[in-house]
């Protein structure tokens, strides 16, 4: 261990001798501050320019050469169709404007009641619960108790759609449900 201490002290003495005889000069004393800042700016711009070109080439080209907002359209000189006729999808059909039928004005209470009854009949398809059906039918009738409804056409509508039910409903049962609601 003594050898190490002795070597360390010799080395420190040599360094003290050299440092006393040499002058310490400031680093980069030949570059001024404006030159330094100019060099940093140029190097930074070069770096980001390389990054932009390498990773964003497509965006730069689109920016330099923008596409027109509306592409130019050409009209054929022969006056025919540009594209062929439309081929309908399988199972798709179309109607003429004259064949379309729309109801006049707002749906009436009668129309709403008939739609609710059809929904009730669809809900009870395949179910064998006649008592529940009749009680729900009377509840629907009670919602429209104060409105003007043609009772006979309503009963006909129920009887026409009742064939979808798994049980039979006759006119007397429907009238009983009507009377129960009123």
Please write the tens of the pLDDT for every residue from 164-178.
788 888 888 888 887
Task: Round the average pLDDT of the chain to a whole number and report it.
Answer: 77
Q: How far is CA 178 from the centre of its chain?
A: 47
Residue 106 has pLDDT above 80, yes or no: no
DSSP string covering 76-126, please? Answer: -TT-S-SS-PPPPPTT-----GGG----SSSPPHHHHHHHHHHHHHHHTTT
What confidence tier does 78 reach under pLDDT thresholds 50, 70, 90?
low
Burial of 124 from C-beta contacts in 10 A (0-12 / 13-18 / 19+):
buried
Q: What token pair was written down for 53?
A: 């070109």
What is the average pLDDT across 128-135?
86
Note whether 113 and 153 are within 8 A (CB): no
pLDDT at 45: 97
Q: Is the pTM of this model over 0.75?
A: no
Torsion of CA 20, 25, 27, 29, to 10 degrees: 170
What is the average pLDDT across 83-112?
75
Burial of 133 from C-beta contacts in 10 A (0-12 / 13-18 / 19+):
buried
Provide CB contacts within 8 A for 113, sequence distance 6+.
140, 141, 144, 149, 154
**Which of the residue ranges 45-49, 98-102, 148-152 would you say has the lowest mean pLDDT?**
98-102
CA dist 157 and 167 (Å) reads 17
Residue 180 has pLDDT above 90, yes or no: no
Note whether 109 and 144 are within 8 A (CB): yes
pLDDT, tens digit (0-9, with 9 covering 90-100), for 37-59: 999 999 999 999 999 999 999 89
């Amino acid at each position: 261990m003594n050898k190490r201490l002795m070597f360390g002290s010799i080395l420190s003495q040599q360094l003290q001798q050299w440092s006393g005889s040499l002058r310490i000069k400031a680093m980069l004393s030949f570059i001024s501050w404006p030159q330094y800042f100019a060099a940093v700016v140029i190097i930074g711009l070069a770096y980001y320019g390389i990054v932009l070109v390498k990773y964003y080439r497509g965006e730069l080209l689109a920016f330099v050469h923008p596409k027109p907002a509306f592409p130019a359209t050409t009209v054929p000189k022969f006056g025919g169709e540009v594209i062929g006729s439309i081929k309908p999808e399988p199972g798709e059909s179309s109607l003429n404007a004259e064949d379309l039928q729309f109801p006049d004005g707002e749906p009436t209470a009668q129309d709403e009641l008939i739609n609710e009854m059809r929904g009730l009949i669809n809900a009870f398809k395949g179910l064998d619960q006649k008592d529940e059906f009749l009680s729900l039918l009377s509840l629907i009738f009670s919602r429209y108790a104060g409105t003007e409804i043609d009772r006979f056409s309503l009963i006909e509508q129920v009887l026409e759609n009742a064939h979808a039910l798994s049980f039979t409903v006759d006119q007397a049962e429907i009238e009983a449900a009507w009377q129960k609601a009123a």
